[in-house]
Structure 1
Amino acid sequence: MRLQVFLVLLAATCAAGTPAKSREKRNKLLLVSFDGFRWDYDQDVDTPHLDQMALDGVKAKYITPPMLTMTAPSHFTTITGRWVEDHEVVHNLMFNTTTNLKVPYKQTLSRSEWWDNGILPLWITAQDQGLKTASFFFPGGAATYRGQKVNRVRLEEAGHPDANYTEWCQNIDTVMSWFSEEDFDLVTLYYGEPDNVGHAKGPETEDRKNIIQQIDRTIGYLRGAIKRHNLDDSLDVVITSDHGMTTVKKRPLVDEIILNKYLNLFELVSFEILDYGGFGVLTPRPGKEQEVFDALSNAPNLTVYKKHEIPESFHLGRSERLPPIVVVADLGFNLNSRFVVYINKGDHGFHNGEMDMKTIFRAFGPSFKKNFVSEPFDSIHIYPLLCKLLRIEPAPHNGSLEVTEAMLWSGGESQGARFSVVLLLPLLLSTAL
């Protein structure tokens, strides 16, 4: 009889340890992005909190952003799990090739017509399945999708300072209160550094090292805030970025790219975005596409593509929004249209295969293993992982959970559930015997 009772108790305990999906406890999820955090930025700086976080969670050697290493396209790939050619956020600037409209990045953040192209971001998919979501400065969070807005949005206005440590900590306090006091399930939190310092000062400078140390202190503050709000056992945290950064090659060391040297832009081109880092687009005037392509093929330190001939690995060629001619500069060479206007000392927008464009992935929380190092992977695969953590059905996407699920305890169950059977076995055995 005792053995029968033991077997019944053991079966019940095992069921509690690996419950059916409908009975599973859903953890909360915080997704944090530090814009422009290159994969190796923590290797020449003392970062005790990032180091401890890697021991307490998981770390990828690096991740590869989509082939359009800019803030808006890359963030939207992370939050949708779709390639740029599918979600159609093909630049930081909102533009219209017919009217020559160009909307600055910060203003683009609130323009739903730029973001709402039929692909649903994680916030909306989660809300449709009963979850409560929020976006704090995260690109795309302020838009409306199929008439639906994110439950709560904080929008970063133009001119907002990005490097105020006190405000960084206040933002964390706000987000923690959303989780602990208002029962939000998903919050995405964005910081504009170290991107700004990387642009203004360059990636190989003391200024960049200082901002990485500030980010490290912020991670320490975050972990303390999680404890203060009693969220250690219920909050998973994923920290990533959108792209890396490289030093811009400038005169007098090199000749900078000025495209008007190689073709008459006024006569041959009706629309252009060229003075914007290492990625440029052009719409030739009718009948001039081949002439534009041939002229740019003779320009140094860049590669020019006809859109329909872009390599499949770029995942850009099927875009309807992207103009017919795409120009990608060699690493470190910024594109200039008619004269040199670029003052940045660091930049991105270059080929995503370049190591300087790679970025970070870190995660910790009850769903994640400890001291686990992942091989590199593409950022497209973050989305299905986020859906797994939230225990929701993902929208159609281009990623694969198989790439990341080794980071999780038994494919997603929490560490507490994993060990519940082991801890109870001695008690059950003594009862049975």
Structure 2
Amino acid sequence: MSRARLRPVLLLLLAVSLGRAAAKPPGSRGGLGGRKRLLLISFDGFRWDYDQDVDTPNLDQLVRDGVKAKYITPPMLTMTSPSHFTTITGRWVEDHEVVHNMMFNTKTNQKVPHKETLRRSEWWDNGVLPLWITAQNQGLKTASFYYPGGGANYSGQAVNRVVVEESGYPDDNETEWRQNIDTVLDWFSQEDFDLVTLYYGEPDNVGHARGPDHSDRKAIIRQIDRTVGYLRDAMGRRGLDSDLNVIITSDHGMTTVKKRPLVDEIVLNKYLNLLKLASFEILDYGGFGILTPRPGREQEVLEALAKAPNLTVYRKEDMPESFHLARSRRLPPVVVVADLGFNLNSRFIVYVNKGDHGFHNGEMDMKMIFRAFGPDFKKNFLSEPFDSVHVYPLMCRLLDIRAEPNNGSLEQTSDMLIATHGGGARTSLTSLMMVTAFVVIPTLIL
């Protein structure tokens, strides 16, 4: 066949191949352009600067091998359940309605502690889909290991595989930390999972019990650093280095609690009669409090609390827009936010924590870490700070799936990705290169 007669055939083959590449399901794994997997790890209460006063060689290596954000900002509220659910949904707290660590009912005065809510779908399932379910609906396989919200059902749909943290179980066993890493990496390497979220309860626990400046907090950061080193070695043993993107982050920071005799602690009943004026309250809980005034007493409650020192009281609908809380249907009508380090006490001082969170998310002590590495991330890249709500669209991009409506923006994180990232885009580019080579080489030898 002459070169002139062959060229139209080759051009037709080129068009067909490109059409097939474009029609290929987004992010299909396999080949040079296939979708990579994603592991999201959260270390509860890992403040943004916790690695600066401790020797952390493995976290330092991540800075060279991947992406570090100067810090990221959690949502208001700076608590475990609300913040984790913002990360996994990309929605502000007023949208996803997980408005406290404690599950509550203002009419019955029911209050359920955090770990006992983890399987309570009625607390988590409020019409917003978390990433696990969105990914599953687009053909991916997902799992949650201890991650808050992973044990619930969403419109009747469960996460493909779930391990739920049990109440009262210790969070700091380093041997079990490594076993958990081996488990989730085996899910990737042996069972072809696409997305796994892994949660650790430290350094939050030690930050509460000992305070953020205590030597025990520094010891747990060294343990986390060793765990990161183990993760990377375990990935290498399983051949996952070129296939798995990893994001390491947190939910909030931690600050030292101010106590007597250095300061007068807040006791709200000194300023109003809670039994007489409130029908519901959660006040003995760090720096964030909520209450429902009795009918007709709301203004009286607001005026009384306005006289209390070291706090700000808000009518819910009057809270700053930046809080993204005012439109919540679940949140009670009065919100109290203590100044940094001042814990709220209702009737008498019962608080024993040396460190806490729940304070204004603009405070630097409430900021947390962000690290990322893997085949789709740049190396040695320092990102400017961003809000944690923007992690969700980043994860959707890495998984090459369509995001649900969310409050995040990929523009906040796209600079940390390598230029050729994008499952479908990579596939099309690779196909174009292969077909172009096929066109050029036969033409040269005819």
TM bin, normalised by shorter chain, reads over 0.9
Cα gap change, 1:325 to 1:185, in 2 (>3 Å): same
Q: Aligned partners of 1:111, 1:23: CA distance in 2, in Å? A: 33
Task: Spell out, residue by residue over 1:334-393, the C-alpha distance to the aligned partner (whole angstroms, 9 max, x if none).
Answer: 000001000000000000000000001110001111111110000000000000111110
Retained in 1: the 8 A contact 2:420–2:426? no
In the alignment, what sits opposite 1:404? 413
Shift of 1:22: 3.2
In the alignment, what sits opposite 2:202? 193
Q: Give identity over the alignment, percent.
A: 72
User: Structure 2 residue aligned with 1:284, among 272, 289, 293?
Assistant: 293
User: Structure 2 residue aligned with 1:22, among 25, 48, 70?
Assistant: 25
Q: What SS does the aligned partner of 1:356 have?
A: helix
Q: Aligned partners of 1:280, 1:118: CA distance in 2, in Å? A: 25
**1:95 to 2:98 alignment:** no
User: Structure 1 residue aligned with 2:123, among 103, 106, 114?
Assistant: 114
TM-score (ref. length: structure 2): 0.90
User: Structure 2 residue aligned with 1:146, among 139, 155, 176?
Assistant: 155
**1:225 to 2:228 alignment:** no
Shift of 1:228: 0.9
Retained in 2: the 8 A contact 1:248–1:332? yes
Cα gap change, 1:262 to 1:402, in 2 (>3 Å): same
Q: What SS does the aligned partner of 1:238 have?
A: strand
Task: Spell out, residue by residue over 1:164-214, the C-alpha distance to the aligned partner (whole angstroms, 9 max, x if none).
Answer: 000000000000110011111100000000000000000011111110000
Shift of 1:412: 2.2
Paired amino acid for 1:101: Q
Alignment of 1:71-90 (within 5 A): 71-90=80-99
Retained in 2: the 8 A contact 1:409–1:418? no
Q: Aligned partners of 1:428, 1:383: CA distance in 2, in Å? A: 41
Q: Aligned partners of 1:326, 1:411: CA distance in 2, in Å? A: 46
Paired amino acid for 1:117: N
Q: How many positions carry a matched residue from both structures?
A: 430
Retained in 1: the 8 A contact 2:151–2:158? yes
Q: Aligned partners of 1:428, 1:204: CA distance in 2, in Å? A: 65
TM-score (ref. length: structure 1): 0.93
User: Structure 1 residue aligned with 2:329, among 320, 323, 345?
Assistant: 320
User: Structure 2 residue aligned with 1:250, among 244, 247, 259?
Assistant: 259
Retained in 2: the 8 A contact 1:366–1:416? no
In the alignment, what sits opposite 1:44? 53
Q: What SS does the aligned partner of 1:79 have?
A: helix
Shift of 1:54: 1.3
**1:332 to 2:341 alignment:** yes
Retained in 2: the 8 A contact 1:405–1:411? no
Task: Spell out, residue by residue over 1:280-323, the C-alpha distance to the aligned partner (whole angstroms, 9 max, x if none).
Answer: 00100000000000000000000000001011110000000000
Retained in 1: the 8 A contact 2:397–2:422? no
Shift of 1:109: 1.0
Paired amino acid for 2:155: R
Q: Aligned partners of 1:416, 1:47: CA distance in 2, in Å? A: 35
User: Structure 1 residue aligned with 2:281, among 257, 265, 272?
Assistant: 272
Cα gap change, 1:417 to 1:104, in 2 (>3 Å): same
Paired amino acid for 1:41: Y
Retained in 1: the 8 A contact 2:26–2:401? no
Task: Spell out, residue by residue over 1:139-164, the C-alpha distance to the aligned partner (whole angstroms, 9 max, x if none).
Answer: 00000100000000000000111000
Retained in 2: the 8 A contact 1:132–1:151? yes
Q: What SS does the aligned partner of 1:305 have?
A: strand
Retained in 1: the 8 A contact 2:400–2:422? no
Q: Aligned partners of 2:23, 2:352: CA distance in 1, in Å? A: 57
Cα gap change, 1:166 to 1:369, in 2 (>3 Å): same
Paired amino acid for 1:212: I
Q: Aligned partners of 2:427, 2:25: CA distance in 1, in Å? A: 15
Moved over 2 A (4+): 18-24, 411-421, 423-433
User: Structure 1 residue aligned with 2:142, among 120, 124, 133?
Assistant: 133
Shift of 1:416: 9.5
**1:162 to 2:165 alignment:** no
Retained in 2: the 8 A contact 1:405–1:412? no
Task: Spell out, residue by residue over 1:111-149, the C-alpha distance to the aligned partner (whole angstroms, 9 max, x if none).
Answer: 110000000000000011111100000000000100000
Paired amino acid for 1:197: V
Q: Aligned partners of 1:408, 1:328: CA distance in 2, in Å? A: 37
Q: What SS does the aligned partner of 1:127 have?
A: helix
Retained in 1: the 8 A contact 2:152–2:158? yes
Retained in 1: the 8 A contact 2:209–2:353? yes
Cα gap change, 1:81 to 1:101, in 2 (>3 Å): same
Paired amino acid for 2:266: I
User: Structure 1 residue aligned with 2:391, among 382, 407, 421?
Assistant: 382
Cα gap change, 1:41 to 1:131, in 2 (>3 Å): same
Shift of 1:428: 11
Q: Aligned partners of 1:192, 1:381: CA distance in 2, in Å? A: 23
Instruction: Please list every run of 5 or more consecutive structure 1 residues that lacks an aligned counterpart in the other structure.
Output: none
Retained in 2: the 8 A contact 1:259–1:336? yes
Shift of 1:110: 1.1
Q: Aligned partners of 2:247, 2:18: CA distance in 1, in Å? A: 28
Retained in 1: the 8 A contact 2:26–2:400? no
Whose Rg is larger?
2
Q: What SS does the aligned partner of 2:419 have?
A: helix
